[in-house]
Chains A and B, each alone.
Chain A
Amino acid sequence: MVGHDMSWASFHVLEVMSSPKYHQKRVGYLGAVQSFRQDTEVLMLATNLLKKDLAATTPTVISLPIATLPHVITPSLALSTLADLLPRLNHSHANIRKKTLVTLYRLALVYPEALRAAWPKIKDRLMDPNEDPSVTAAIVNVVCELGSRRPHDFLPLAPRLFELLVDSGNNWMAIKLIKLFATLTPLEPRLVKKLLPPLTNIIRTTPAMSLLYECINGIIQGGILDNAEDISGADEIATLCVNKLRGMIMINGDANLKYVALLAFNKIVLTHPHLVSQQEDVILECIDSSDITIRVQALNLVKGMVTSDNLVPIVSRLMKQLKSSSPSKDRRTPGSSSNTPETESDDEAQTAITAPTVRDTQALLIPDDYRIDIIERILFMCSKDNYSSVLDFDWYIDVLTQLVRMAPVPRTFDADTGALLPTRQQVDVSEKVGDELRNVAVKVRAMRATAVRAADVILDQLLTDNPVGHPLSSGALKSTIWIIGEYSIQLAMPDDSLNGLLQAIPRIGKPEIIAVALHATAKVFSSIAGSELEPWTSERKSRISLLLARILDVLDPLALHPNLEVQERAVEFIELLKLTAEAASGQPPSTDENNQEPPLLLTQAIPSLFAGWELNSVAIHAQKNVPLPGGLDLDEPIHSNLGRLLAQTDIVTLQSDEADDFEIYYHQRPPPSSISSSAPAISRLADPEDDMANSYQQPSEESYLDADILAKRRAERLEKNKDDPFYIPSDNILRTSTPIHNILQNNNGPALDIDSIPVMQLDLEKIGQTVAAPSRPRPQPRQRVIVAADETLEGSDSGTGRQYDSENSSVNLTKAKSKKSKQHSLLQVDSSTIGSFSLEGNASEGFDYERQQREEAEMQQAMKEVERLRLEMQRANERIQMAQGADVQGVVIKKKKKKVVKKTAGDDENEATTVKPKKKTKKAATQTVEGNEPGGATEDMPGSPPVKVVPKKKKKKKASVEEVEATG
Chain B
Amino acid sequence: MISAFLVFNGQGQPRLTKFYTQLDTSIQQRLISEIFTLVSNRPAGSCNFLPLPPLLAASSTSHSSTEEQSDVPSLVTYRHYATLYFIIISTTTESPLALIDLIQVYVEALDKLFENVCELDLIFNFETLHATLSEMIIGGVVIETSLDRIVAGVRAQGTVAKRPVNEGRSTIGSGMGIGGNFAWTGRV
Verify that A and B bind, or say they do not: yes
Pairwise interchain contact A829-B21, C-beta atoms closer than 8 A: yes
Nearest opposing residue in chain A for B105, CB measure: A172
Contact flags B44-87 to A (C-beta < 8 A → 1, else 0): 01111111000110111011110010111100000000000000
Are A210 and B95 CB-contacts (below 8 A) given A2-B17, A3-B17, A253-B45?
Answer: yes
Residues in chain A near residue B4, CB distance under 8 A: 827
Interface size class of chain B, counting residues whose CB lies under 8 Å from the partner chain: 35 or more
**How distant is the Cα of A808 from the Cα of B48 in the complex, in angstroms?**
43
Residues in chain A near residue B146, CB distance under 8 A: 134
- Smallest beta-carbon distance A489→chain B, Å: 45
Nearest opposing residue in chain A for B90, CB measure: A827
Pairwise interchain contact B1-A172, C-beta atoms closer than 8 A: no
Nearest opposing residue in chain B for A814, CB measure: B65
Residues in chain A near residue B71, CB distance under 8 A: 149, 828-831
Pairwise interchain contact A134-B51, C-beta atoms closer than 8 A: no
Pairwise interchain contact A3-B65, C-beta atoms closer than 8 A: no
Are A825 and B63 CB-contacts (below 8 A) given A70-B139, A102-B138, A134-B146?
Answer: yes
Does B156 sit within 8 A of A, measured CB to CB? yes
Does A269 sit within 8 A of B, measured CB to CB? no
Nearest opposing residue in chain B for A820, CB measure: B62
Tell which of A66, A217, A260, A292 has the most Cβ of chain B within 10 Å: A292
Contact flags B81-120 to A (C-beta < 8 A → 1, else 0): 0000000010001011110110000000000000000000
Does B165 sit within 8 A of A, measured CB to CB? no
The number of residues on chain A lying at the interface, defined by a beta carbon within 8 Å of a beta carbon of chain B, is 80
Residues in chain B near residue A208, CB distance under 8 A: 186-188
Does A817 sit within 8 A of B, measured CB to CB? yes
Pairwise interchain contact A175-B95, C-beta atoms closer than 8 A: yes
**How distant is the Cα of A208 from the Cα of B146 in the complex, in angstroms?**
16
Does A624 sit within 8 A of B, measured CB to CB? no
- Smallest beta-carbon distance A493→chain B, Å: 46
**Majority SS at the chain A contact face:** helix
**How distant is the Cα of A60 from the Cα of B23 in the complex, in angstroms?**
28
Are A103 and B139 CB-contacts (below 8 A) given A22-B158, A817-B65, A827-B4?
Answer: yes
Considering only residues 31-53 of chain A, those with a C-beta below 8 Å from chain B are: 33-34, 37-38
Are A30 and B25 CB-contacts (below 8 A) given A209-B187, A294-B47?
Answer: no
- Of the candidates B62, B64, B72, B95, which one forms a contact with A214 in the assembled complex, judged by CB atoms under 8 Å apart? B95
Residues in chain A near residue B72, CB distance under 8 A: 825, 828
Residues in chain A near residue B141, CB distance under 8 A: 102, 105, 138, 141-142, 145
Does A256 sit within 8 A of B, measured CB to CB? yes
Contact flags A283-310 to B (C-beta < 8 A → 1, else 0): 0000001111110100000000000000
Pairwise interchain contact A827-B23, C-beta atoms closer than 8 A: yes
Does B172 sit within 8 A of A, measured CB to CB? no
Residues in chain A near residue B11, CB distance under 8 A: none
Pairwise interchain contact A99-B56, C-beta atoms closer than 8 A: no
**How distant is the Cα of A209 from the Cα of B96 in the complex, in angstroms?**
11
**How distant is the Cα of A205 from the Cα of B93 in the complex, in angstroms?**
24
Does A478 sit within 8 A of B, measured CB to CB? no
Are A292 and B31 CB-contacts (below 8 A) given A145-B1, A209-B187, A825-B59?
Answer: no
Nearest opposing residue in chain A for B127, CB measure: A30
Does B16 sit within 8 A of A, measured CB to CB? yes
Does B160 sit within 8 A of A, measured CB to CB? no
**How distant is the Cα of A441 from the Cα of B130 in the complex, in angstroms?**
64
Does A259 sit within 8 A of B, measured CB to CB? yes
Nearest opposing residue in chain B for A816, CB measure: B64
Does A144 sit within 8 A of B, measured CB to CB? yes
**How distant is the Cα of A175 from the Cα of B93 in the complex, in angstroms?**
10
Does B181 sit within 8 A of A, measured CB to CB? no
Considering only residues 63-80 of chain A, those with a C-beta below 8 Å from chain B are: 63, 66-67, 69-71
**How distant is the Cα of A246 from the Cα of B16 in the complex, in angstroms?**
38
Pairwise interchain contact B43-A364, C-beta atoms closer than 8 A: yes
**How distant is the Cα of A213 from the Cα of B100 in the complex, in angstroms?**
14
Does B22 sit within 8 A of A, measured CB to CB? yes
Pairwise interchain contact A210-B1, C-beta atoms closer than 8 A: no
Residues in chain A near residue B58, CB distance under 8 A: 424
Pairwise interchain contact B50-A293, C-beta atoms closer than 8 A: yes
Pairwise interchain contact A826-B73, C-beta atoms closer than 8 A: yes
- Of the candidates A33, A145, A259, which one forms a contact with B93 in the assembled complex, judged by CB atoms under 8 Å apart? A145
Residues in chain B near residue A171, CB distance under 8 A: 188
Nearest opposing residue in chain B for A826, CB measure: B59
Pairwise interchain contact A828-B73, C-beta atoms closer than 8 A: yes
- Of the candidates B55, B63, B89, which one forms a contact with A821 in the assembled complex, judged by CB atoms under 8 Å apart? B63
- Smallest beta-carbon distance B42→chain A, Å: 8
Pairwise interchain contact B22-A71, C-beta atoms closer than 8 A: yes
Pairwise interchain contact A105-B139, C-beta atoms closer than 8 A: yes
**How distant is the Cα of A23 from the Cα of B160 in the complex, in angstroms?**
12
Nearest opposing residue in chain B for A292, CB measure: B51
Does B174 sit within 8 A of A, measured CB to CB? no
Residues in chain A near residue B140, CB distance under 8 A: 70, 106, 829
Does B178 sit within 8 A of A, measured CB to CB? no
Does A823 sit within 8 A of B, measured CB to CB? yes
Query: B residues within 8 Å of A by Cβ?
Result: 1, 3-4, 13-23, 25, 27-29, 31-32, 41-43, 45-51, 55-56, 58-60, 62-65, 68, 70-73, 89, 93, 95-98, 100-101, 126-127, 130-131, 134-135, 138-146, 149, 153, 156-158, 186-188
Q: Which 3 A-B pairs have the closest CB atoms?
A: A70-B139, A825-B59, A210-B97
Q: A70-B20, A825-B72 are in contact. List 5 more A-B contacts (CB 8 A).
A: A33-B18, A60-B157, A293-B46, A824-B59, A827-B19
Q: What are 5 A-to-B residue pairs whose CB atoms are below 8 Å?
A: A2-B17, A217-B95, A255-B45, A258-B47, A260-B96
